[in-house]
Structure 1
Amino acid sequence: MYIFGIDVIILYHQQHHNLTPLAHQSAWKILVHRFYMDYYSEEEIVNDLHFVGEAAKELKELAKSVSCKQKKGEERGVERKEIQVFVRWLTLMEPFFYYCQLWNEEFVGLIGSIAEAFKASKDNYRELCHRCIFAIKQAAMNRTVQINDLLNGGAFDVALVEIQRRTIDYKNPFENLQFFLNVSRRFKGKEDDDADEEKRKEMKRKVFEKLEEEGYEDTITSFYELFELININNHHSLSLNVSDYLVNV
């Protein structure tokens, strides 16, 4: 009955907009974190309550607000609560992409909203920036999220911009490398069951052209000597084989 009550609150908010941003996000957090306890809730969250579209809309509005304040020279004027809600929405993408097994046509919009959030935060809000990169990495791990969704939603643009950035912070390069490694593994392992061979080849060609246009191969090669150091700093394991990060057409 408690969970049913939260469903009713969200549905009512979608019609009347009667919740504060923090309360709205908190209600979704409770529901999304049910995935690992109750897989039957997935249909309700994704298709009945339209979490994907709702999250995309919230992220776009937050990104627009942050961008407007930066243009006016009000970087310091972004309220702490607004940034808190922004971070919480992006953090919620982790369990969602990890557990979600239902594809939704709104996925492109959600990826696109994460890309917009990245553009709004990449210069002045590095914590938000990192959350965006982590979110697209998680999305690339999930076979439910089609690679076409990642490409059309702008996930590759986010990863390519950030991986070419000069930085001493090893968190973001690690997540970016994981993103490209996940995409490459999905192509090589032929894990996307919904795509026939011709569609797979066409998608690989599009991704390859995108990476080639941005000078991706040279960038990845330049990271070779840093792979082990990045691994040490993140306590995870990246492949030390450069070819594992390349999409072979």
Structure 2
Amino acid sequence: MCVPYLLKVALKKVENEEAQKEVEMALLASSSIGIFNSIKKELYLNEIKEIIQHHHEHHNLTRIAYQSAWQFFIDRFFNDKSLEEVIVNELHFPRETAKELEVLTRCIDWKKKEEENEEKGRKETKEEVVLYRWLRMLEIISDRLKEEEKDEKEEAERKRMKMEMFEKLEEEGYEDVIPSLLIIHDIQNDKYECGLSHDIAGYFVNV
């Protein structure tokens, strides 16, 4: 129920600090709506496309807000493969991800970070937070693609086995037995009587 309201706020294009904070908070909140929450496509698709496309043209979002918009959209992809065309070809997710990661990695002083990691209570920079969010999202996607690849391989294996079985039946001359095994349903007093086709004897093979 809250998604349309969050995206309505995120669509604000007024350039002032207060409105920008509202946009940021709305997108951050939307990115926390996990993949297990089913949301109808018509409640978010046009809005999230407009938010991302507007940023492509005007760069109106901070990096954390931009990543949050993508996070919300990618999470929806987990339950709806039809979004792939929009994500890849309309909004250019691979290109945008590569660009964001390149900029973020340049913003981080990795040598200084390594030295400071040994200090207790060190806080991560904004750039580090956003970088890790992108990387986690790319990991959520990698796992999903691996699952799909596994499912496709299993389905291909099932089809191969079915084909081999059919070919074996055909080779041994049993393929004609299959249509002969007709079940005759005689419904009387809610009971079923099952039997074989009357001319099944013509299909038996003498061994």
State the TM-score, normalized to the length of structure 1.
Answer: 0.40
Where relative contact order (Cα < 8 A, 6+ residues apart) is larger, the structure is 1
- Structure with greater helix percent: 1
Larger-Rg structure: 2
State the TM-score, normalized to the length of structure 2.
Answer: 0.47
